[in-house]
């Protein structure tokens, strides 16, 4: 099976005894992401799936900030799933569900969510730094799942580096893209236009593009007709 995301914990700080991993990127970007989600999720209740939760640090921060939302973390890597479970246990928060193993490239995953005890309808899906460190079928599966599981007023929120109109937004993003493609030709920084076309093909549309620190963006998608 292809490795869809870069695993944390292989460099830098050692893994904690309980399996918790610590991602440096979390400390750099979590406050900026939380500030945006505070607006996007204001007044929202229900279930939110995080696709590709990595270490699990983000979902704990989000759950602490939004106690009225039930958070469903997920990932494909066993080490990540162990870390998410450990961060969940360490937090003691009641509004985080056990991490789910989800392979976004598997077309059956959206149907398996409700049949396996998960929610049949989502207020939102959030995914940070996934679609560029993964082959294109992962992006396709992410949008297909959003089209199936989001409730009528639901939203899909993506965070990461993206190209715009075919061009990188900064030299550092171009260098990062080159390093990704050298590691795996199926990876790479995605163009906003490509993702917009993918969204349109499943009945979603890009409703907001938000500039973030370090040349990143947040893209917010909603069902056609919603804002």
Residue 22, domain member (yes or no): no
Q: Which of 153, 95, 94 is nearest to 122 (CA)?
A: 153
Count of the separate structural domains present in the chain:
1
Q: Are 49 and 125 in contact (CB under 8 A)?
A: yes
Note if the pTM is more than 0.85: yes
The reply to whether 202 falls in a domain is yes
43 lies in some domain: yes
Q: What pLDDT digit, counting tens, does each position of 129-166 carry?
A: 999 999 999 999 999 999 999 999 999 999 999 999 99
Structure tokens at 93: 């928060």
Alpha-carbon gap, residue 137 to 111, rounded angstroms: 17
Per-residue model confidence (pLDDT) at position 13? 57
Identify whether 159 is part of a domain.
Answer: yes
- Residue 21 located in a structural domain: no
pLDDT score recorded for residue 19? 85
21, 79, 101, 111 from 145: Cα distances, Å: 27, 24, 14, 8
Positions of the chain with pLDDT under 50: 1-9, 11-12
Q: Which 3 state secondary structure label does DSSP give 99? A: coil
- The pLDDT score that the predictor gives to residue 87 is 96
Q: For the segment 100-135, what is each residue's pLDDT rounded down to a tens digit? A: 999 999 999 999 999 889 999 999 999 999 999 999
Domain that holds residue 69: 28-223
Q: For residues 171 and 169, what is the distance between their CA atoms, to the nearest angstrom? A: 7
Examine residue 10 and state whether it is found in any structural domain, yes or no.
no
CATH number of the domain at 114, please. Answer: 3.40.50.150
Q: Is residue 16 situated within a structural domain?
A: no
pLDDT for res 69: 98
Answer whether residue 20 is part of any domain: no
- What distance separates the 2 farthest-apart alpha carbons in the chain? 49
């Amino acid at each position: 099976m292809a490795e869809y995301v870069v695993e944390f914990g292989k460099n830098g700080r050692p893994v904690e005894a309980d399996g918790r991993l610590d991602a440096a990127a979390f400390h750099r970007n979590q406050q900026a992401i939380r500030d945006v989600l505070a607006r996007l999720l204001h007044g929202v209740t229900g279930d939110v799936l995080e696709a590709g939760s990595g270490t699990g640090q983000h979902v704990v921060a989000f759950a602490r900030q939004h106690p009225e939302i039930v958070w469903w973390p997920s990932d494909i890597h066993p080490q990540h799933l162990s870390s998410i479970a450990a961060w969940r246990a360490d937090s003691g928060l009641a509004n985080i569900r056990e991490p789910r193993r989800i392979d976004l490239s598997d077309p059956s995953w959206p149907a398996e969510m409700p049949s396996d005890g998960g929610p049949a309808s989502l207020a939102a899906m959030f995914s940070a730094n996934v679609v560029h460190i993964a082959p294109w079928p992962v992006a396709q599966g992410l949008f297909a799942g959003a089209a199936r599981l989001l409730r009528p007023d639901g939203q899909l929120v993506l965070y990461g580096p993206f190209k715009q109109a075919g061009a990188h937004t900064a030299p550092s993003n171009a260098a990062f893209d080159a390093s990704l493609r050298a590691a795996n030709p199926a990876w790479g920084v995605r163009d906003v236009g490509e993702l917009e076309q993918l969204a349109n093909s499943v009945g979603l549309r890009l409703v907001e593009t938000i500039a973030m620190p370090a040349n990143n963006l947040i893209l917010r998608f909603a069902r056609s007709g919603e804002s």
